[in-house]
Structure 1
């Protein structure tokens, strides 16, 4: 299972050399990530009750990123990602977040405010009466970047109140900063590479302890 918020949180990862890799390090990388995950944005926006994108041609990469260096979408994604990761760290408690990540997490209260404010940009239900009274989802903005950030906020909220939250785990491998969903109770690591690296580390510590 993958959601927009979960996919965004995963753009911070171990680089395989003892450091941290940011998959949104540049506007061009942010544009590439967005192009790859537009289907997840669509799922959130079209999933709003009675939603109708109407004249907002979304998600359209040419609209979202007319100029990756000037649209500001990369900075917006990085900010909301920080809030999502802080809430994910809170969700896995009492398990600790990765030591490599713990010092960079924003306060939970700040993360909550940011996510809720972002999600609020998607709007609310409005009453319409053409022939019969009906409600539709009315976006509060036509700005596609604001809609994108709002979709991340809504995705984070929907995920954190869903049963899937109970499957969320922080990978305990050294220097790994990824979260994963533990679909199999025997799964300990986010990936086979993390598991292999930890087994090698344990073997080394036993021999050179």
Structure 2
């Protein structure tokens, strides 16, 4: 995907779902979505868009250059966070590999510079590779945020968008609302109205 295609992807993206202002992990899970007519988007599809997403969410600075391996790490963790969210919504047992992946992200960031040795300088403290460390810190923050959501009082509000084929998540804020956006809500209401007109719904 080139820069033009990445920009077009951002234009087609749905607005943040309810609850994304409180949990960055919810917005992270929703960086990919399925849209009607076989359409969809992935805001982490390329390193440039992944970097913009991290910077926009104050998880890194705009000058950090991401590589494909970093973007792939983000997409992998996103898949595991989505699996945990889906399991919570469905009342199912969460996948063991997703629990492990989130825990690994939480534990991957050293709390202090590491101790290293080389013949010229002897013992010294070092940081990990700047980009890799920045991504690791960002993923740890997102993993912690997801863990807080899944284990906190808002977990009962977590829901999947009820307007097929959308597969985004949201926090219910208005009664039984299960739509992640106005666009999805309008589509669901239009589908119900069409079904009533055609006698397929009571």
Question: TM-score when scaled to structure 2?
Answer: 0.70
Match of 2:96 in 1: 109
Shift of 1:176: 0.6
Counterparts of 2:84 and 2:77 in 1: how far apart (Å)?
11
Counterparts of 1:192 and 1:60 in 2: how far apart (Å)?
31
Alignment RMSD (CA, Å): 2.4
C-alpha contact (below 8 Å) 1:14/1:20 kept by paired residues: yes
1:81-114 CA-partner distances (Å, limit 9, x unpaired):
001000000111249xxxxxxxxxxx71110000
The yes-or-no answer on 1:177 pairing with 2:178 is: no
Counterparts of 1:77 and 1:146 in 2: how far apart (Å)?
9
1:36-56 CA-partner distances (Å, limit 9, x unpaired):
111xx3xxxxxxxxxxxxxxx
Task: List runs of 5+ in structure 2 lacking aligned partners.
Answer: 1-20, 113-126
The yes-or-no answer on 1:87 pairing with 2:84 is: yes
Task: List runs of 5+ in structure 1 lacking aligned partners.
Answer: 42-58, 96-106, 126-139
Shift of 1:14: 3.3
- For residue 35 of structure 1, the aligned residue among 23, 45, 55 is 55
C-alpha contact (below 8 Å) 1:173/1:189 kept by paired residues: yes
Match of 2:140 in 1: 150
* Cα gap change, 1:3 to 1:11, in 2 (>3 Å): same
C-alpha contact (below 8 Å) 1:92/1:168 kept by paired residues: yes
Match of 1:45 in 2: none
Q: Aligned residue pairs: how many? A: 161
- For residue 75 of structure 2, the aligned residue among 78, 91, 114 is 78
The yes-or-no answer on 1:10 pairing with 2:30 is: yes
* 4+ residue runs over 3 A deviation: 14-18, 122-125, 206-209
The yes-or-no answer on 1:118 pairing with 2:111 is: no
Counterparts of 2:176 and 2:35 in 1: how far apart (Å)?
25
